[in-house]
Amino acid sequence: MTEAIVVTETVRVPSGALSVRAARASGPGGQNVNKVSTKIDLRVDLGGVEGLSDAARARLRLLARNRLDAEGRLVVTSQATRNQARNLEDARARVAELVQAALVPPRPRVHTRPTAGARRRRLDNKKQRGAVKRWRTRPGDGD
């Protein structure tokens, strides 16, 4: 079994929430591709991640929504290198990055008003566009 992924002092992905499978990688590599299973398929049970608040867990599910399998587990694959151990470390690092990103709460939007100058410029632009369209009509038709 693999060891736990430590994200912060309080947040970690225990080894029980991880399942690792090795498969044959695609792409170039000659005979090595046909013989050695270097691609890593790492699946993480999101409910098993320890130390996440409910809000962070919801953000993690939202960030990982396109990478979830039928059982709701996060699927991370890595076939960047020709070495199984390095691909496993790469997949584990990507899981840690995703969990780290979910820990950061989004900045609240501050509602702002357009400045007086911006409002004036917008209205001037609208008047100018209207004048251009008025000039396109035949004389006597616009009135």
Tokens found for residue 136: 């396109």
Q: Domain spanning 5-103 has what CATH number?
A: 3.30.160.20
pTM score of the predicted model:
0.71
The whole-number pLDDT of residue 31 equals 74
Tokens found for residue 63: 């960030």
Burial of 118 (0-12, 13-18, 19+ CB in 10 A): exposed
Task: Identify whether the C-beta of residue 41 lies closer than 8 Å to the C-beta of residue 75.
Answer: yes
Which residues are CB-contacts of 4 (< 8 A; sequence separation ≥ 6)? 12, 13, 14, 15, 18
The whole-number pLDDT of residue 1 equals 57
Tokens found for residue 138: 């035949």
Which residues are CB-contacts of 114 (< 8 A; sequence separation ≥ 6)? 122
Question: Is 143's pLDDT higher than 70?
Answer: no
Stretch 60-83: mean pLDDT, rounded?
88
* Domain limits, the chain: 5-103
Pairing of strands 18-23, 73-78: unpaired
Distance CA 40, CA 126 (A): 58
* pLDDT tens per residue across span 36-57: 888 889 999 888 888 888 999 9
* pLDDT tens per residue across span 88-140: 999 999 999 999 999 999 999 999 999 999 999 999 999 999 999 999 988 77
Tokens found for residue 22: 């090795």
